[in-house]
């Protein structure tokens, strides 16, 4: 399955097998993982697992995170977009859709998470009508919480994510 969505500064496309090296650079970065359980990956095989998982989501659920390419440089900057959460319960929810993003630090603070999430949010409500869109972020991850608010998700409650023993904020939006 392929995707091609353009925003002002980004191209959002499907994650490809050849993105595995970039995915490794992203997920082996301790700064990137500060609010993701502080457990960056240490081998390329794990990055390939992430790539395969995203690609499985495209085929099985017709949805999945997208690679983000900066238009001005052609650089792969991270991923953004949608995911079907079917494996674990979060804040009392199972089988829900969430919106998320993960970029290399050198691309933070340019509005890219907001810009790409607006595109993903609009794509979601167009293709999954009458379905709730959810988001979550560690309380300390102020930038992520701010992005979810800026794209119009409503902040609901805080909850403990047992697997990482951290407190997260839960956001959601109906169409």
Ligand X SMILES: CC(C)(COP(=O)(O)OP(=O)(O)OC[C@H]1O[C@@H](n2cnc3c(N)ncnc32)[C@H](O)[C@@H]1OP(=O)(O)O)[C@@H](O)C(=O)NCCC(=O)NCCS
Q: Cβ 169 to ligand X, closest distance in Å?
A: 9
Question: At its nearest, how many Å lie between ligand X and the CB of residue 108?
Answer: 4
CB of 100 to ligand X, least distance (A): 6
- Judged by beta carbon, residue 48 or residue 110, the one nearer ligand X is 110
Residue 61 Cβ vs ligand X, minimum distance, rounded to whole Å: 20
Contacting residues toward ligand X, per CB under 6 A = 32, 35-36, 100-103, 108-114, 137, 141-144, 146-147
Closest to ligand X by CB, 15 or 113: 113
Ramachandran area for residue 38 (φ above 0: left; ψ -120 to 50: alpha; else beta):
left
Q: Which is nearer to ligand X, 1 or 143 (CB)?
A: 143
- 130 vs 122: CA distance, rounded Å: 13
Q: What is the DSSP string of 7-72?
A: -SSEEEEE--GGGHHHHHHHHT-TTTTTTTTS----SHHHHHHHHHHHHHHHHHHS--EEEEEETT
Nearest to ligand X of 16, 110 (CB atom): 110
End-to-end CA distance of the chain: 25
What residues does 138 pair with on adjacent strands?
A: 168
């Amino acid at each position: 399955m392929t995707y091609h969505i353009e925003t002002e500064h980004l191209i959002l496309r499907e994650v490809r097998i050849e993105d595995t090296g970039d995915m490794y650079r992203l997920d082996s970065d301790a700064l990137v993982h500060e609010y993701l359980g502080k457990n960056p990956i240490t081998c390329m095989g794990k990055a390939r697992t992430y790539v395969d998982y995203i690609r499985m989501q495209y085929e099985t659920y017709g949805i999945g995170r997208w690679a983000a390419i900066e238009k001005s440089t052609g650089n792969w900057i991270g991923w953004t977009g949608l995911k079907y959460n079917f494996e674990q319960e979060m804040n009392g929810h199972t089988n829900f859709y969430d919106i998320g993003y993960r970029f290399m630090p050198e691309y933070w603070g340019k509005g890219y998470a907001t810009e790409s999430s607006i595109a993903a949010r609009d794509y979601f409500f167009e293709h999954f009508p009458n379905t709730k869109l959810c988001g979550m972020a560690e309380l300390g991850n102020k930038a992520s919480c701010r992005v979810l608010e800026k794209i119009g998700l409503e902040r609901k409650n805080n909850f403990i994510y047992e697997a990482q023993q951290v407190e997260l904020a839960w956001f959601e939006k109906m169409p």
